[in-house]
Structures are given as structure tokens and as C-alpha cells.
Structure 1
């Protein structure tokens, strides 16, 4: 399929990409350059990426719509970490002769972050840590998970694992999504309920849906308004699943609490309305960030480059 001369590794926030992948396996003719920041300005991004014929994107940190791809005439190979990336316009890439490949991943680290958010909020851990650090002691009474109701929105691979942890902690698990059946819910140890029942009766609601036109804003003012006072909403999937204005209003009124690992804008800009909301635990999209996952990502990226150079691309993304 030809040669590659320059590879751009994008959005390496922690500066670990080169130390966590077998880049030495690549031919010496391939120059690797790492960028640790995310450029939002389209013209600046084009100026940065135009010289490269291969790009490794870290998840959806930098989207690749058709309008960007058409301005990258040298691009031959676009790799995304993970098995899929809805922020890449795969048909547009293929139309321009750009091969788009994915990588393996390791485990389900998003489940860890989901439960870290839930348990920290239930037991008020951040405030208790702060109290100890300044010479204080117990300042609040938390909630144990056992006996509470966990509502899982989206009972796929991640949602099913989150449900299993809830069951192990002694929670009642209920679930809803648009295509979920009672049989599938029961197989995951959950009870199928309708959307209104889930939001009205759960003590903790955890979202595990793919972002699409159908799911965007699926949690709005009506759903948030139906939640119990003091209930917890956890989102480790995608920020736009939740209507931002409605969420900010519910938090400012002190009606609910929220554990959020994903946002409508990432990284969160200064002055973002969620930064000033009470009752929140905000983490910087850590769901997929683990040493095991990164090792799988970067090893898979090297494999993808080797396969492309050999004329036999692997793990090509489907339109």
C-alpha cells in the first residue's frame, strides 16, 4: 500500500504514549511525533496535521469529520485507539482512500471508574479526606450501597458488569433502554422497568449508552425532575446523553448529586457551568485510562501500521 514517513500521535495528555508502546518495531523511515494538547481550532489543526501520512487518534479527543479529512491530502492511514470511534467519518475517509483501523482494548476499566464515582458519592469520601487533612474527623453520615436501588440505563457489556457489582453489594438492580427485553435484563440480574419508573425509583442511576442521534439528550429535565431528592446520576459514557442546562439546574437546586467522567466539552474549559455546581464529583474522562488499556492500544497501533505497510490492513472500521 506504499510507504509511511510521518506518524502523529495525538492528545497524549499524560505524555506516556512513547513509553507504553513497541514503537521501536516500526521502520526507521517512519518519523513519530507526539502532541500532548488538543487543538479545537480547525485551521490550526489542519496546519499541524497536514504533513502527516499516518495519524493515531486517542479515542474521540480529536474528531475527524469529512470537513477535516478533505483538508489532509497526505493522510493514508488513520488509527483510532479502541474498536470503534463514532467521531471519525469512516465513509468520508474511505472515499478519499484513507484506511481507518482500530486497536484492541483490555478489560472494562470504565466499570472501575463508574463504581469509584458511586461509592465516593455515597460515602462522601472526598469531603472526609479533606476533613482529615486539616485535622478534622467525621463530618457527615454516608450511605451504604446495600439495600439501595441501582438503575442501569443501557445493559450492554459495561452496563451488565456495573449491574453485577451492584448485585454483589446487595443492591436491587433495575434497568431500561429502548431495546432491552425482560429476558436479557433477567440474565444480567436486573429487572426491566420503564424509563419513568427507573428514574423515579433508583437511588443511583448509571448511564451506559452509545451516543447517537437517538440517545442525545435522552436524560432531560423530566427524567432529572423525577429522581429522588439526593439521588445520584453517574455518567461515564458520553456527556451529551444528558441535557446540560437541565442537569446544572438540578444540581444548583440541590435536588440530585452527580458523578461525571464525561462532558459536552473536553477538556472542560474554565468557567464551564458544571465546575461551580454543588454535589458533584468530576473526573477527567478516566473511564478507559488504565495501564493495561493503553498498552493494548499502543501495541495495536504498531500492529496496524505494520499490517498496512505489508499491504494487509487489520481491524478496519466499518462505515
Structure 2
């Protein structure tokens, strides 16, 4: 049976990994190390993780391209939270004889909930008013009504559908588009299918819920942003690559759209010199969509199961290239 000697848990930013699973179930001889800060670039990742035979990665916070995988001679099991991870070169791992195991998914409901948090934060200027109250000021902004406004949902999958249903509950006119939209599903939910141009040109709030791929990268770019109303809000809790960041930043600075709520960023954590730190009319969160107690319970308990199963010689939830 494979011996589990040293296990690394990566990117535990909140310092909670140890309480979301019973790690005492690991063999007594196993040494568990938790990293609570980003490890840095590829060379830093390789240097920090070289002694470990098992690594637990939190989603895509740390990348494992072929070059990093090849620099980890002791690695035998790489666990990703979630059933897949675009930041791991699974084929390279397989060539090295490294098992990549996943966990059950999580975060669908929590991501939809955060989407609405960002929408409310923008439409009612909650961060601004919170700051002003603490500074001794009072009632300086005028909010926007959601009832009767149009919500445009780009991507009506699991998360997009949840977001749409909440919009309907608020009395919004909800429309949706994607290149492969199931119009029957949309109508069954109570959502009106429209083309991309109409959605962008007529929506008061546009929210993006697509998987990142070659087909969807930059799906909201300069031309799409030009179609949006000057007071419309854009929300992204999916992947940063879906939106042309430079084009969005320019539109915000020029006042061509009303604002943006972003939970995902091209570089995470945001660098000190990131222009997004001073971007106008924005509400930014640090990729919190899946970061909830319930999701972490699933991720870490399944990760522990993966490790124990590997140690017993019967790997589970193996991710294929």
C-alpha cells in the first residue's frame, strides 16, 4: 500500500481547513502541513512542495502546470477540491504516475447568493453608505429599484438559473442568452430567451454565468460593453476570462456603464499595483463565490476520503485527462 508521509493543504486563507475534516484519521506517522498564504510563482510553489507526497489544492488558487508537476519528485497524489480543475495539467500528472483525485462539487447555491449580494451592493450603494455612516455622514446616494427592472442572465445553467429565479421573485423582467441556450428550460423557469445584443442593450443588470473555455473567453468585450446602457451594472462571479478586463476598466473610467460587481480577477490575489484597486463604481470581492461553511465541509471531508482511499490502494474520484 502507498505510504502517506507528508500532506500539504494549500491556500487555506481563512485558516479553517483543520476544522472542516477530521484529519486525525490520517495515519499517525503522517505529517500534515497547512499553508495559509499564497506560495507565489512556479519556482516558489515547487520549492515549498518538493518534500510532499500528497497535496490538497483549493480550487484554482495555485496552478499546477507540467513544469511544476515535473519539479515535484515526491508527489504521488494531487487532490483538487471540486470535480475538475483547469489549473492542473492532469495529463502531465498522469505521465508522471501521479493520481489526481477530485471532490464533490460545491458552491452553486453560494455563488448565486453572492451574485445577489453584489447586485444589491451596487444598486443600493451599500459599501459607500456603510463607509459614510461610519464617517458621520448620512444618506448621500439614491438607490435603484429592482422591481420592474430587467435582469439579463448570460448562461442559464445551474447557477444562472438560481440567479434568474431570485430575479423573478423580486418582480424583475428576466431575459437570458447563451450560444447553446435551452429555450424550453428558459421558458419553463419563466425567463425570456433573447439574442445577445438585445440582452446587453436592454438590461439594467447583466450577470455572467458561463464556464471558461476557448469559446467563452472574452464573450463580453469592447463591442458588447458598448451596447450596454450607461447606467447598467455588470456582474461576474464565474471566471474573469469571460470579460475583457481592459475594456471593462476603460468603460468604467469613461462612465460608459454604471458599475461592475466582480468576484473573480485575472490575477488573484490582486497585486498591490492592480488598477482594479482604484477602479470607479465597482464592488470587488476576493473570489468568495464558493467560500462558505457548507462548501468547505464537502471539499475538505472529500479530500480526506481521497487521501485515505489512495493510502488503501483504491483511489477514488480520479480525474481523467
TM-score (norm 1): 0.97
In 1, Cα distance between equivalents of 2:128 and 2:71: 48
Q: CA deviation at 1:258?
A: 0.1
In 2, Cα distance between equivalents of 1:11 and 1:27: 23
In 1, Cα distance between equivalents of 2:179 and 2:66: 30
Structure 2 residue aligned with 1:199 = 200
In 1, Cα distance between equivalents of 2:23 and 2:280: 44
TM-score (norm 2): 0.96
Structure 2 residue aligned with 1:52 = 52
What is the 5 A alignment of 1:44-123? 44-106=44-106, 108-123=109-124
SS at match of 1:11: coil
Q: Between Structure 1 and Structure 2, how many residues are aligned?
A: 319
Q: CA deviation at 1:39?
A: 2.5
Q: CA deviation at 1:186?
A: 1.3
In 1, Cα distance between equivalents of 2:144 and 2:9: 43
SS at match of 1:286: coil
Q: CA deviation at 1:22?
A: 0.9
In 1, Cα distance between equivalents of 2:95 and 2:185: 39
What is the 5 A alignment of 1:129-278? 129-256=130-257, 257-278=259-280
SS at match of 2:72: coil
Structure 2 residue 303 is the aligned partner of structure 1 residue 294: no
With 126-135 and 205-214 compared, the bigger mean Cα shift is at 126-135
Gaps (5+ residues) in structure 2? none
CA deviation string 1:33-65 (max 9, x = no partner) = 011121332222111111111000000000111
In 2, Cα distance between equivalents of 1:277 and 1:309: 48
In 2, Cα distance between equivalents of 1:239 and 1:255: 20
- Tell me if the contact between 2:100 and 2:319 (Cα under 8 Å) persists in the aligned partners: yes
In 2, Cα distance between equivalents of 1:118 and 1:102: 32
CA deviation string 1:208-228 (max 9, x = no partner) = 111111111111001111100
In 2, Cα distance between equivalents of 1:97 and 1:187: 47
SS at match of 1:7: strand
Q: CA deviation at 1:105?
A: 4.0
SS at match of 2:73: coil
Gaps (5+ residues) in structure 1? none
In 2, Cα distance between equivalents of 1:289 and 1:248: 26
Q: Which runs of 4+ in 1 moved over 4 A?
A: none
Q: CA deviation at 1:275?
A: 1.3
In 2, Cα distance between equivalents of 1:66 and 1:209: 26
Structure 2 residue aligned with 1:40 = 40
Q: CA deviation at 1:106?
A: 4.3
In 2, Cα distance between equivalents of 1:184 and 1:95: 41
In 2, Cα distance between equivalents of 1:287 and 1:79: 20
Q: CA deviation at 1:189?
A: 2.1
With 50-59 and 29-38 compared, the bigger mean Cα shift is at 29-38
Structure 2 residue aligned with 1:304 = 306
